[in-house]
Amino acid sequence: MAQAYSAGLTVTKSIVLRKDRILPLKGKVLVKKGDKVKAEDLVAETKLPGKVVPFNMANKLGVQANMVTQFLKVKAGDEIKAGQVMAQTKGFFGFFKTGIKSPIDGEIESISKITGQMLLREPRIPVQVKAFLEGIVVEVIENEGVIIENKSAYVQGIFGIAGETTGEIMVLAKNGSEVIKASQVDESCKGKLIVTGAMVTLDVIRKCQEIGVNGIISGGVDDRDLKELLGYDIGVAITGHEDIGVTIVVTEGFGEIKMADATFDLLKEFDGKKASMHGKTQIRAGVMRPEIIIPIPFEGEKLVAEEAKMATLEIGSTIRVIREPNFGHIAKITGLPEKLTKVESETLVRILEAELSNGEKVILPRANVEVIEM
Amino acid sequence: MADTQNLRRIIATDCGSTTTKAILIEYVDGEYRQTVRGEAPTTVEQPLNDVTRGVVNAVTELQELAQLKYNDPTIKFTDGDTLFVGKENGIDAYVSTSSAGGGLQMMVTGVVAKMTGESAERAALGAGAIVMDLIASNDKRANYEKIERIRALRPDMILMAGGVDGGTTKHVAEMAELVGAADPKPRLGSSYKLPVIYAGNNKAVDAIEETLKAKTDLIITDNLRPTLERENLGPARDKIHDLFMEHVMAQAPGYNKLMSWAMGPVDGKMKQIPIMPTPAAVGNIMQTIARENDIEVLGVDIGGATTDVFSVFTEDKIFNRTVSANLGMSYSISNVLATAGLDNILRWVPFDIDESGLRNMIKNKMIRPTTIPQKFKELVLEQAIANEALRYAFIQHKEFAVSLKGGQKQREISDAFAQTSSGNSIVDMMTLDLLVGSGGVLSHAPRRNQTAMLLINAFLPEGVTRMAVDSIFMMPQLGVLAEISPKAATEVFEKDCLIYLGSCVAPVGKIKPGKIALSADIKLPNGKTFKEDIPFGEIRMIPLGVGETAKATLTPGRGLDLGVGKNQVLETELHGGVVGLILDTRGRRPFLLPVEASERVPLLLKWMKELQAYPEELLK
């Protein structure tokens, strides 16, 4: 076999992207097909059902569950206000009646004759979905959301923290190997998406939080710093929900790893341009990788999304080494021998021969590289 | 049932969360054998988002290898788009299991957590699900917390149990109200209603229907705990499998196509063969082994995301399965570190490594789960992590595999609300006959001796125990194959699936270091005799090949037990394997490792050398 399939992360100057922007529950779509939207524009909104508050009416009244309805002043579906009387005891010859009051504003969800329990629901919670991607609404999914399309420069990260944000790209590192210092982050970085080179340290992240930087794009991050920052160890890779005030996208991995030249050069080229990014990562069950999307203006031309394909390992392909030894190095494939080969750990694997950017010739398990798509 | 005439070439795949593994089974010279295998990355994620791509890639590899093997370029299993099932020179049947896309994720409810709750959990686990949470009337969470939890979970389906038939309906009705109030949405898409299976008190069916019928896709089945003394898990498990196919699989990317491919001859006609959740298929084959050979079996499958432990214990051959959802070697590797802690992992490592380096290595494996250790030290570290993942998964299994609680006691369910004591674990390492390991880190270990070492260190077998490994992890495929051809499945299982590692002999109890823990007199088939008084704290490895046996007289040290009573001599026949016999006098109940590295590291090195687990020059 002269080629093999390999997972890879996309880094490209121009790609046609389509993004679903869907509500968690059915609701109202606020834009129409053909509309041009900016990242901050609202495209759909809905109201999530409020929190449910169980209320044991039978206990409060001191009666059997099946008798509760006799005392009720409200029925299922009724709106209620906090303090409103929902049921009243019969009292003694009409005196000493006790009113049972609602603890919340909201509505009566249900009343059970079997358990004597009432379920009260707090008012609905509004949820809004923004466009996130600057582009054109190409499809409206009725009551659910929209699909937005645009042409972008695009970087897929390997791991991220925190949700969606936008801002201008600001490259602070001189090159992909540099590790910037906290002192380099100043007021001018506020609201920006900064590019930090091979690593972002805890000091830098803290400074970013203090100044109000919107996003950090880095080659690597140290796991100990991350634990310190979040206050817990990330067990399973499902991220994006962290509330830390700044979104982080890591392009290479954990530790100090030079940001690939292709990635760094692309970000440098778009220095000062507006971009959208998110740190949402999910490595199993519907894989999600963090993204940096830099919209490119386009006029009239018809956008054609490329058909999804799997990256292949071929002689001449540019690869990134994704495990020790030579982790993080960029290399070119020089050979793809078919025979299984024993590596130092005595594991029998399919290997490839490659030349690192420093000229060194190495053999690597095929599983330990990924193709960089340009 | 299919016969050998129309079932000569079968392809079975297992779509795992990381890799899709395909095997070719052929009817050659009057028997079924597994002939070639192929694998490819699973493709349920972007950009391909279609599980069948990975299947076609893996089958293409099979096809190329089969063409080479038989020097026959006309062999065609696939054209790169579809599989040639039931076509000339193609394949006669295609079957598949799946755990991709996170497998089957369920939430279960019961009234008393330790009784109906546990039975419901057993039913779901036995059906191959991951149980995201068990919610019970007496689980100490406030009702609003339960509602929030149910809403947040987004399972694939819910199994509700509670109450014995004819018993009180109040608690189970209340649970239905909580589920109804949470109005949970299915994990994959909001276009259909969440399936809810009710398998509780039959007297409460009306109340359950009234509460849940409008909001969910409610299915009523037989009570899984009709009386306190009896579990009836079959009907609920069957319903789970039906729904898995209809709802969960149908929602996952590409699965409709995959389901249409999975077919084979049943009673002379081509029929669709349901895709089975991987763990359910493994459970199938494990129970078959235990029944057919009348033995107690403990099996483990350590995957990228989860570790499953299966056991068949007691004379009644009671089957239990547990899933440690977040203990695995790739996606969940970081959670092994969070669960076990750094010190527990490093106690198996005979060299220094800094914390920061190890942490970053683990996280990098998590985000790039398909990489493999090229360097020796990385292999040792991965195996140390595996050791802890296996150990924790086994602890969880022992806690779960217990005798039925609440039975044979004349009391009402409401009395049992207060019960805190639990049933006894039926897992008895002393009576265990066979320990089977599978999953990448065990099946693909560069040396089988490493697999034996991991199994012994993690499970601590007692007395005499045979050990085996599922060489290329084909138990899932064989489990689903058994559905159309038990003959093909059992033949391949016996001839190609299990590789016997050998037997472990371990006296139970603790004595002082230096004292004799085991006097072994073993007559080997080559005419030689192994005879030694082995002190406490040692390991010996004696070569004894696959299919060979040796007569042994084993005398435990004073106060120690080999399964026939303290100080009692055991006369037995020991079975060999690719590793051989391992005599382990390091102690059981307790097994202790020195805390101080200066004491522990020399011991680890000594044991690793004796077991020939790693190249000796690299251990220096």
Segment A136-146, tens digit of pLDDT? 999 998 888 99
Chain B hits for A119, Cβ within 8 Å: 177, 181
Could you tell me if A342 and A348 are in contact, meaning their C-beta atoms sit under 8 angstroms apart?
Answer: yes
Main-chain dihedrals φ then ψ at residue B286, nearest 5 degrees: -60, -40
* pLDDT one-digit tens code per residue, B129-139: 878 889 998 88
Could you tell me if B431 and B313 are in contact, meaning their C-beta atoms sit under 8 angstroms apart?
Answer: yes
Nearest one of B333, B291, B307 to B103, comparing CA atoms:
B307
Say if the Cβ atoms of B446 and A365 lie within 8 Å.
Answer: no
CATH of B103-232, one of 1.20.58, 1.10.10, 3.40.50, 3.30.1050: 3.40.50
- For the cut 80, the answer to whether the pLDDT of residue B460 exceeds it is yes
User: What is the rounded average pLDDT of the residues B329-341?
Assistant: 87
User: What is the rounded average pLDDT of the residues A175-182?
Assistant: 94
Specify the DSSP class assigned to residue B194.
P
- Average the pLDDT over each of A113-117, A166-170, B70-74, B93-97 and give the range with the smallest value: A113-117
Say if the Cβ atoms of A117 and B375 lie within 8 Å.
Answer: no
- For the cut 60, the answer to whether the pLDDT of residue A243 exceeds it is yes
CA distance linking residue A274 with residue A150, whole number of Å: 14
Say if the Cβ atoms of A310 and B47 lie within 8 Å.
Answer: yes
B-chain residue closest to A65, CA distance: B170
Number of inter-chain CB pairs under 8 A, A vs B: 181
**What CA dihedral angle connects B583, B585, B588 and B591, to 10 degrees?**
-120
**Which of B364, B378, B472 best probes binding to A when mutated, by most A CB atoms within 10 angstroms?**
B364
Partner A contacted by B209 (CB < 8 A): no
ipTM of the complex: 0.83
Q: How far is A92 from chain B (nearest CA, A)?
A: 30
User: What is the rounded average pLDDT of the residues B425-451?
Assistant: 91
Where do the domains of chain A lie, and which CATH numbers do they carry?
4-17+150-295 (3.50.30.10), 52-121 (2.40.50), 312-371 (2.30.30.30)
- Average the pLDDT over each of A305-314, A361-370, B362-371, B446-455 and give the range with the smallest value: A305-314
How sure is the predictor about B586, in pLDDT bands with cuts at 50, 70 and 90? Answer: very high
CA distance linking residue A318 with residue B254, whole number of Å: 30
Q: How far is A232 from chain B (nearest CA, A)?
A: 9
Nearest one of B316, B315, B262, B309 to B286, comparing CA atoms:
B309
pLDDT at B411: 39
Nearest one of A329, A116, A89, A288 to B171, comparing CA atoms:
A116
Q: With left for phi above 0 and alpha for psi between -120 and 50, is residue B329 left, alpha or beta? A: alpha
pLDDT at B317: 81
For residues B398-433, one letter each, b for 16 or more C-beta atoms within 10 angstroms of the residue's C-beta and e for the rest, the string is bebbbebbbeeeeeebeebbebeeeeebbbbbbbbe
Cis-peptide into B543, omega within 30 deg: no
Could you please report the per-residue DSSP string of B451-490? HHHHHHHHH---EEEEEEEETT--HHHHHHHTTT-HHHHH
A4-5 and A28-29: which strand pairing?
A: unpaired
Q: Which of A26, A109, A114 sits opposite B173 (nearest CB)?
A: A114
- For the cut 80, the answer to whether the pLDDT of residue B414 exceeds it is no
* pLDDT one-digit tens code per residue, A255-266: 998 898 889 999
Helices B355-367, B376-400: axis angle to 10 degrees equals 70
Say if the Cβ atoms of A5 and B40 lie within 8 Å.
Answer: yes
For residues A296-320, one letter each, b for 16 or more C-beta atoms within 10 angstroms of the residue's C-beta and e for the rest, the string is eeeeeeeeeeeeeebbebeeebbbb
| Helical spans, DSSP H, in B71-142 | 118-126
How sure is the predictor about A302, in pLDDT bands with cuts at 50, 70 and 90? Answer: low
pLDDT at B45: 65
The second-level CATH assignment, the architecture, of B9-100+257-274 is 2-Layer Sandwich (3.30)
How sure is the predictor about B419, in pLDDT bands with cuts at 50, 70 and 90? Answer: very low
A-chain residue closest to B212, CA distance: A110
Domain ranges of chain B: 9-100+257-274, 103-232, 284-404+422-619
How sure is the predictor about B39, in pLDDT bands with cuts at 50, 70 and 90? Answer: confident
Whole-prediction pTM: 0.80
In the predicted model, what is the mean pLDDT of chain B?
A: 86
Q: Which contacts (CB < 8 Å, 24+ apart) does range A342-348 have?
A: A343/B374, A344/B374, A344/B375, A344/B376, A345/B372, A345/B373, A345/B374, A345/B375, A345/B376, A345/B378, A345/B379, A345/B446, A346/B376, A346/B379, A346/B446, A346/B447, A346/B615, A347/B372, A347/B373, A347/B374, A347/B379, A347/B444, A347/B446, A348/B446
Q: Which of B48, B338, B615 sits opposite A310 (nearest CB)?
A: B48
**Which of B206, B212, B368, B381 best probes binding to A when mutated, by most A CB atoms within 10 angstroms?**
B368
| Residues 148 through 207 of chain B touching chain A, CB cutoff 8 Å | 148, 169-170, 173-174, 177-178, 180-183, 185, 190, 207
How sure is the predictor about A304, in pLDDT bands with cuts at 50, 70 and 90? Answer: low
pLDDT at B412: 42
**Which of A223, A347, A366 best probes binding to B when mutated, by most B CB atoms within 10 angstroms?**
A223
User: What is the rounded average pLDDT of the residues A35-49?
Assistant: 88
